[in-house]
Structure 1
Amino acid sequence: MIERPIEQIGDPASAAIQGLAKRANDESPCDFRVLCDRSLAGIYVVRTGRIAYANLALGELLGCDPSEIVGQSPLSFVHPDDRAEVEEQMRRRLSGESETSRFVMRIVRADGNIAEVEVLGTRLPDESAPGLMGTMIEVTARKRADQKIQELANFERLLANLSAGFINLNCDQIDDHIDASLKSLVEFLGNDRSTFVEFGDDDEYVLVTHSIVTPGGDPFPLGRFQVARLPWFINQFRKGQRVFVRDVETDLPSDATEERKFCARHGIKSNVTLPLKAGGLLLGGLTFAFLRNRCEWPIEIISRLQLIGEVFANALLRRRTELALRSALAENDTLRRRLEEENLYLRERIVLKHHHGRIIGRSDAIMQVLADAERVAATDAPVLLTGETGTGKELLAQTIHELSKRKDRQMVIVNCASLPATLIESELFGRAAGAYTGAASAQIGRFELANGSTLFLDEIGEFPLELQAKLLRVLQDGRFERLGSPTTISVDVRIIAATNRDLEVAVSEGTFREDLYHRLNVFPIRVPPLRERRD
């Protein structure tokens, strides 16, 4: 197939070939051969449909001796797909329709290889024996060089567009733009898969965050990836070295045994790995893999892929920095709201600090209560205070707290009997904004407020049965969720509960969970009524 239109030309090249054709007629064959054999271009003469002369350069171009060319049809060396058009151009020149022409065609060398040549041909000015004369110059290398330059220019334009896309990009959009960029790179390079790996604090694992694959292929699974599965490759990442493997069967080093097995298992034939660096930090790696064939990986492409890798890395570093800043701001906001809640709580309640001297009585019964309180205060065990109303259970709870290691933080008090069942969940566990009608803002619950301190649950016997499972979970593992939020919150809270009811009876009646009762009743203290304090 001829790649560009054949056209008549009137330039110096046309004049030169016409002058050479005139000398072919005017000079002796010997002089003409001497002249042509000095030429670096292949020269041929065609008469009566056969090649009558071929110089040495044409023989080298076709890969045979010139004597083997003479006598053959000029079409015998033309690629089959180009013969019809070349034959038409020969007819036009022989008939005088086109005096001189230049075109590009493909030839088939004697060894079977195909080359592209530029042909400059003209009609021999001989009325008695019309013929053709022309020159051939190989343009395969030149054309490949032109194509390479053009492809590189196109690649650089692509990289410039991808890089520009990261400018002023919102942090939440960076992942999507990395995916789109990898897809564009895979389509341009013609490879089958590209994978983006980030390093974390765990030396035994890396994190696969992006994977792009051509249609029909299997993407690399996202998430944690064990280093032991590809130790040599990941070690190159961590050294900051780039590695390009033209053929994984022959180019991988002998110690890359796991890599060789992995590539064989996943059909990887060729691969390039590039470290991702930004701000003096090594953040991860970028891979491009061929599954269908092997690739030479030109150094020009490798170096430019390294540049786009640095763009990715800078975007990644910017995202990490911004997320860390967001987290710090959120933590500061949480602390601020917690302090506001604590201050509100302290303003709403008169806080009195108690000690042994505030508990009246020196009877054996009350002294036993104080001894038990002092003994359990040194632990974090839950305490269940039982006794009649007005016996000083809250005062005793405050004493236990003041004797404990948590005394530096204020004890938080909740009266379970004074709160409606509809509000006790949000009061204890907090709520997210919009958790229910009227919940315009988020609220910290008493458990969060008491983190690192003591939570006193007065009148625990009135705690709603439907919420007891949630309370039990906090007692078991210190975790819960705010009302209307899926986020799990962990707290360190010491529980002291009090009741004037017989919880064992409540358990038997089915109004109080048995497992919750046993969790609260780890260290029971009965506070005696005043009639039992004879002092």
Structure 2
Amino acid sequence: MDVVLCSRGSANGTTNRQQSFMSTPPDLHRLTAEISARMVRSTIDSLDEDITQALAEVLPALNIDRGGLISVSNGSPIAHVEYAWYSDGSTEVSRDINLVEHFPWVYQRLVIQQRIMSISNLSDFPLEAAVDRRSHEAIGTKSILSIPLMIGRRVHHVMVVHTLKTERTWPEEVVEQIRLIGEIFVSALQRREAELALKVTGDRLELAARSAGCGMWELDLETGVFWITHKAREHFGFGKDQHVTMMEVMARIEPEYHALVLAKIEEARRTGGEVTVKYRLLDAGAGSSWLVSRGRVAEVGPERRKLLVGVTLDITESMEMEQRLQDKVREIEELKRQLERENEFLRKEAGAIVEQGEVLGSSARMREVMTQIAQVARTGSTVLLQGETGTGKGLIAQTIHRLSDRGSRPMVKVNCAALPGALVESELFGREKGAFTGALSKQRGRFELAHGSTLFLDEITEMSLETQAKLLRVLQDGEFERLGSPQTIKVDVRVIAATNRNMEEEVEHGRFRRDLYYRLSIFPIMIPPLRERPEDIPQLVWEFVSEFGERMGKKIRRIASRDMETLQAYAWPGNVRELRNVIEHSLIVTAGETLNLQRLTPSHNVIEKGRSLEDMQRQYILSVLKSTRNRIKGAQGAAEVLQMKPSTLYSRMRKLGIIPERV
């Protein structure tokens, strides 16, 4: 099969003679084997030259003047001469030929019917091939051999050879040899097409992988040799042309990850599934510290060679972010544990004080107080606590002490109202033996005992002016003398003072030193009375119910809503202590699971404005006596609630016209 669109030159000095070849030259088989081996070794770039050279070696050996390999397009009549060889003086043909137009009979026989066509003389063409005969005459063809070469079920190429000088026959052995050579060419072309497609796919994959920051690689599981892309070389710090083996890759991974990486490779070999592994590199020279690799095993080639094929991504930045996040989480967890410890401490403190009739609460007012506690606790400054009796000043002082740097030592407490005025100074500063009548022994004062710790001075307004002067000296200079001793003692003591009186009024009336007041009130904390924070009452009630219920072996599961409203409406002149006494009494008289609350006077009993001081004192004492069921002396008695001596309370009651037996 041949093509004609243009002709160049003619044979010079040739004679027409018909030849008949009954067999192939004896060395053609050797030449075919060499060409086959050469095609196997051909590269993408060298294949075109190798095919052209093979045609130049084979066709002259068969006394052929013109020949080549033509590609046939699927569904198109246009054929293309891909490779051709011409003897000296031979007419060259066009590279592109319309087969239907110039060789319709040949096109039907070769492409459609897929049959070999051999013509020894142009007169052998049938009458219906007149167009084909004229086309061959125009390019000087004498004899023709055209062999269709199949790929799948269609003709993909045609091997065409012509003689131009003589006519000849085409023995079957020659036809087979030319067909074999054509198939070798087509096979090589197909292999190159597949390699080019694979290269394009690989280039696309590498481009996509590089765009995503990935490096691609293949590990031969038999030889341990790597093929890796440029990006993968950057990850591991390998040079452009450096030979890479498994041993060299492992040398760049931190030793603690060796076992993990090798285990993942073995898992991929054993299961054939996808594996993923994170690991850290030694200094790879490219800045990578952490990599993640993902791959699976593929079997290639007829020998089913196993390759572990995968990608690697630099995750250094994400791992560093994760590490920072973990550090933050640990920091938050530590802060959480610290808050839990502090909350547990406060809860335990509250629980300890509950037994003495004092608790804090969780209302907005009390949260403000807790904020102040947190602000001042670690400063070491003097604190002045102000609030009515029973509001929890002792608990606040203990909390400040425990949260301070002195919290590991016990806090020393002095109730100035519980001591006779003459003994307060001795109690605070100590005495020498014989310092006054009855001083039979030497005694260390509370300031000495509180050295390095905290001294809590409750009801400080009960202190005499003389003692106040000595206290001011200690606060200013940190020194004092024991009674009866000229020797100065230096101490390091933090003072927390508390009072239920209006300090400014005490100062105005000359009962408290102004300079000492200023010294004590560096950081004042006002503790609100219970009537100003009724939202704390339900919590306190249930705490007292739990405490006394456990002590008395009773389980209270319900408190009537009207009773809780009554408790919240009551003025509570005795504050939390009074509430505790009411709940204790109520549990004593309760038989079932519902609290049997004793009736209280509603909120209109809150002290009215405009009443005289004596009236307010009288109402206050009456309320306390009512809450203690007229008990004056002893534990839980009115004198204890009011923090007064029983004799002082009796004197005050007589002055106010309160007759105990008629209360």
Name the TM-score class by shorter chain.
0.3 to 0.5
Calculate the TM-score normalised by the size of structure 1: 0.33
Calculate the TM-score normalised by the size of structure 2: 0.27
Larger radius of gyration: 2
